[in-house]
Amino acid sequence: MKILVVGGAGYIGSHVVADLCEKGNDVFVFDNLYSGSIENIDKKAKFIMGDVNSENDLDKLFKIKFDIVFHFAALKAAGESMDNPEIYSKNNINGTINLLNTMVAHDIKKIVFSSSAAVYGYPKYLPIDEKHTIKPINYYGYTKKVIEEILNWYGKLKEINYATLRYFNAAGYDINERIKEREKTTANLLPIVLECAVGLREKLNIFGDDYNTLDGTGIRDYIHVNDLSNAHLKAMDYLNKNKNNLVLNLGTGHGYSVLEVIKMAKKITGKEIKHSVIDRRAGDPEKLIASSDLAKKTINWEAEHSDLEKILTSMWNLYSKI
C-alpha cells in the first residue's frame, strides 16, 4: 500500500510510521518539522518537507497516488489554544480543510484522522462512550469537533471514507525503542514528571488535590502510544474492507491519579519527584475515562501495553539517557 502520513515526524505519527514500514508498506511522510523530529522517521519511509497550509506543497505531494492518508499534523496544547486560537484555526482547521480538498481533487478517498477526548468536554457520565455529548471546553477540542463534522459532510457529499480516532491521554514511547527523540515541549503530566526525575525541572505543580477522587488528585486514562498505533493499523484494515466510517474512542477504561503517577515514577526511576499542590487548572475535569467497547467490537482492538508501569518504563528508557 502507498500510504501518506501527514505529521509523520511527530509523537504519535512517528510510531505509526514505524509500524507501517515494518509491515512492508510504501510510506511517505509529509511534515513541516515544526514540532516533529526527522530522527524519528523510519529510514524506510520517504520524507517530504512541507506544510498543510501550502496548497502548492499539497498539490505537488498528491502527484503520488496514495491509497490512504493518515493525518496527525496538528497543534495539541489545550491551554495554548485558549490564548492563541488563531494558530489553532490555521493549523488544525484550515490545514485539514486544505488536505481534504486536495484529497478530493486527486480522488483519494480514505483518511484516518487524529481526534481527541477533548471533543467531549466535561464528562456527564463515566466511562465516556462515543454517544456522549460533544461539547468541547477548550479551543483545541473545538478544532477537532469542527473537523469531525466536516468529515461527516465530506463522507456524504464526496464519498470520503474516514476513521476518526478519539485519543484519551496518549503516553509512553516505543517499547521496541525505534523512536530516538523525546518530545521537547510538552505540558503533559507524564513527561513533566520524568523531566523532574532527570533534573530538567525542579518540581511538579499538582493542579489541585481537592477533587472528589480517592486521593484528591485528577484521574486520567493513559493510553500507550504503541496501543494507539495498533489501533491506526486496524482502522486502516477496516477502511480497506468496509465502506462504513468509524468514530472510535481509544483508551483503557482505567484511570490513574496524579499521585499514583508520581509514586510509580519514583519506583521506576529511583528518583525523588519534588512536587507541591497549587490551584486547580481551569477546565480540568476530575476524572476522564474512556469506554473503548466500540473499538473492541468493530476493529477488535484493545489496549495491551497501557498499564502505568509499562508506560513509564518505556518513557524512562528515553529520559534516562538525557
Active site (catalytic) residues: 140
Residue 157: exposure state from Cβ atoms within 10 A (0-12, 13-18, ≥19): exposed
The four Cα atoms 138, 140, 144, 147 give a dihedral, to 10 degrees, of 110
DSSP secondary structure code for residue 290 in this structure:
B
**Binding-site member from 26, 183, 284, 302 for ligand UDP (CB under 6 A):** 284
Report in angstroms how near the CB of residue 209 gets to ligand UDP at its nearest: 9
Name the one range near ligand UDP by CB under 6 A: 13-21, 66-74, 126-134, 184-192. 184-192
Is the Cβ–Cβ distance between 114 and 72 less than 8 Å? yes
**Binding-site member from 8, 13, 141, 218 for ligand UDP (CB under 6 A):** 218
The answer, yes or no, to whether the previous bond of 136 is cis (omega within 30 of 0) is: no
**Does the protein bind ligand UDP through residue 258 (CB under 6 A)?**
yes
**Does the protein bind ligand UDP through residue 314 (CB under 6 A)?**
no
Q: Which residue has the cell 504503541?
A: 226
Name the one range near ligand UDP by CB under 6 A: 16-24, 205-213, 262-270, 296-304. 205-213
Q: Quick one: cell of 3?
A: 500510504
- 178 vs 281, beta carbon nearer ligand UDP: 281
For ligand UDP (CB under 6 A), the number of binding residues is: 15
Report in angstroms how near the CB of residue 192 gets to ligand UDP at its nearest: 5
**Does the protein bind ligand UDP through residue 151 (CB under 6 A)?**
no
**Does the protein bind ligand UDP through residue 192 (CB under 6 A)?**
yes
- 33 vs 82, beta carbon nearer ligand UDP: 82
**Binding-site member from 20, 160, 206, 262 for ligand UDP (CB under 6 A):** 206
Q: Quick one: cell of 33?
A: 518539522
Sheet holding 246-250, edge to edge: 46-49, 26-31, 2-6, 68-71, 110-116, 161-167, 246-250
**Does the protein bind ligand UDP through residue 250 (CB under 6 A)?**
no
**Does the protein bind ligand UDP through residue 73 (CB under 6 A)?**
no
Q: Which residue has the cell 523510519?
A: 42
Q: Is residue 57 helix, strand or coil?
A: helix
Q: Is residue 113 helix, strand or coil?
A: strand
Residues that bind ligand UDP (CB under 6 A): 169, 187-189, 192, 204-207, 218, 220, 258, 281, 284, 288
